[in-house]
Amino acid sequence: MDADLVVVGSGLFGLTVAQQCAERFGRRVVIIDRRSHIGGNAYSENEPETGIEVHRYGAHLFHTSNQRVWDYVNEFTKFTSYVHRVYTSHNGEVFPMPINLGTINQFFRAAYTPDEARALIREQAAELDGKEPANFVEKGVSLIGRPLYEAFIAHYTAKQWQTDPEKLSADIISRLPVRYTYDNRYFNDTYEGLPVDGYTAWLERMADHDRIEVKLETDFFDSSQPLNKDNVVGNVPVVFTGPVDRYFDYSEGRLGWRTLDFEEQVLPVGDFQGTPVMNYPDADVPYTRIHEFRHFHPERDYPKDKTVIMREFSRFAEGEDEPYYPVNTPADRDGLLRYRDRAKSEKGVLFGGRLGTYKYLDMHMAIGAALSMVDNKLEQHFTVGAAIQ
């Protein structure tokens, strides 16, 4: 079909832009994606042996306080009443996360009141005595004291970065929230839940429109396919949600990313860990956490004698690895500023999403940012013919 807009990438950013331009402005949109499925990293599929829904690119929990985003996503799916909670297995004992009064009292074998716990943490955090933290261990100690920091944060973060805690820079963390109540609800947002029929049904409904065509296994930089960069840019407006450094042939250097490796297992037990996510903050365990997917949907009729678990390992991305979390070194930040300038002067192309802006975005943030791009740029273009830049 002839397109009024080409969207590169079918993640939540690209899907939102495409759906809005098709629906609100009656435009014909082609979405291309290099993967064999839509949805970007929010994609999920049912594990064939058990039928249990597995989030292919790591566990995805939907939460937002943005009313517009909540109303928008509810046009495509209902959400369950799932509330996210995380536990952590340290030295053979399980504690509630994020660090709260329950964690503190279990750890110190005490029955502190909120004020007593506050006083204790303040005293332990004063260990550095006003000295500027030299690395991220000292920074952590200055925020919550050494005992809790070393137990729950130091090695966990070191595993995420595959780097000795002493060698990590202090500016990786700026704050470590501690709750002085027993509330261990993970997110503080107004709305939270999981899509009732699964992520993929939601994502497919967004793309299910007469004026939207999706082309999978189609890379924007593959010159052998018709909708490639050289053919499209300058002729049809583009919203690009792939990696911004790749778009400009890495001319300003490669931006650093962390990636994750997932090890999935089907086990012959009905329940492996009794909860969706267990963190492993100790140095002698190589993975950072284990997800058990059946617990995301207690309302579903899953088999009672089998379960699916996924161990998560974290490392720096290289070569063809999936880019997941921006590393954000000072060199990355410099490079990003240069790419932003280039992106601004690239006529007819708007850069968006996680990869296009080199920014970690939760799903609700990606959707919110896409709605803003539609309001601020694409509406002007499609209603009064303003140029895209």
Dihedral Cα 243, 247, 250, 251, nearest 10 deg: -140
Residue at token pair 């609100």:
24
Residue 164 bears catalytic tag: no
Nearest to 289 by CA among 314, 326, 266, 321: 314
By CB under 6 A, tell whether 308 contacts ligand FAD. no
Task: Read off the tokens for 198.
Answer: 């699964």
Residue at token pair 């740029």:
377
By CB under 6 A, tell whether 60 contacts ligand FAD. yes
By CB under 6 A, tell whether 165 contacts ligand FAD. no
Catalytic residue (choose from 183, 250, 360, 375): 360
Tell me phi and psi for residue 238, to 5 degrees.
-125, 135
**DSSP structure class, residue 89:** E
Query: What residues pair up with 5 in beta bridges, in sequence order?
Result: 29
Give the nearer residue to ligand FAD in terms of CB position, either 86 or 283: 86
Residue 123 bears catalytic tag: no
By CB under 6 A, tell whether 362 contacts ligand FAD. yes
Neighbouring residues of 362: CB distance < 8 A, sequence distance ≥ 6:
63
Smallest gap from Cβ 255 to Na ion, in A, equals: 18
Residue 118 bears catalytic tag: no
The rounded distance, in Å, linking the Cα atoms of 316 and 260 is 8
By CB under 5 A, tell whether 377 contacts Na ion. no
Give the nearer residue to ligand FAD in terms of CB position, either 63 or 294: 63
Neighbouring residues of 241: CB distance < 8 A, sequence distance ≥ 6:
7, 8, 9, 11, 13, 14, 40, 351, 352, 353, 354, 355, 356
Q: Which residues between 81 and 120 bind Na ion (CB under 5 A)?
A: none
Give the nearer residue to Na ion in terms of CB position, either 167 or 347: 347
Per-residue binder mask for Na ion (CB under 5 A), 333-352, x = binder: -------------x--x---
By CB under 6 A, tell whether 34 contacts ligand FAD. yes
Which span (11-19, 328-336, 343-351, 372-380) binds ligand FAD, by CB under 6 A? 11-19
Smallest gap from Cβ 42 to ligand FAD, in A, equals: 5
The rounded distance, in Å, linking the Cα atoms of 219 and 236 is 17
Catalytic residues, by residue number, are: 175, 179, 258, 289, 312, 360, 362
In the complex, the residues that contact ligand FAD under the rule CB under 6 A are 8-14, 32-35, 40-42, 57-62, 219-221, 241-242, 260, 324, 353-355, 361-364, 366
